[in-house]
Structure 1
Amino acid sequence: MTNVKGLLEKKLVQINGNVVSLYPQLWKDQEKAVNWIKCLYIYCCLKKQIKAKQALYFEDIATKQIIGSMVNNVPKVINFEFTDQTHKI
């Protein structure tokens, strides 16, 4: 929770409704990406008052391309390659 709050304050993550915009560099590999999806989903359920089992989508903050989702409590990485980390935060 503290990590998410810090990223929100630094504007590295933005939450608007059921869409989380973030810099893809936060997702270093598949395991970390899934962990971020789960953590941000919990944060949104507790702090942003989205309802349990409501879909949450993750997009690249720069391109607005969907890169992940949490639908029916299943985290999923979409259209995202971990080797392409050309952008710097």
Structure 2
Amino acid sequence: VFADGGYAGEKLRAALVGNGNWTIEIIKRSDAAEGFELLPRRWVVERTFAWLGRCRRLAKDWEASIESSTAWINIASIRVMTRRLATYCLVS
């Protein structure tokens, strides 16, 4: 699991206990850095959020329950993966 420096405490580790054997890597910005610095692996999370945000239902936080929100995220992920597979099958 790649996480931002804001998740460096024990809260994330405690949340993952009992949900499998995960390795957590905290991606932090160097203290000596000035201006913009490209951080490794951080773009993966940002890009994934952008793909999921293309689904109108996920553009705003309208869901009344966590279960409903989780279901719609799963549906959006299936949609993204199905489109990728379809494109791959057409090219191959």
TM-score computed with the length of structure 2 as normaliser: 0.25
Higher strand share: 1
Q: Which has the higher contact order (CA 8 A, sep 6+)?
A: 1
* Higher Cα radius of gyration: 2
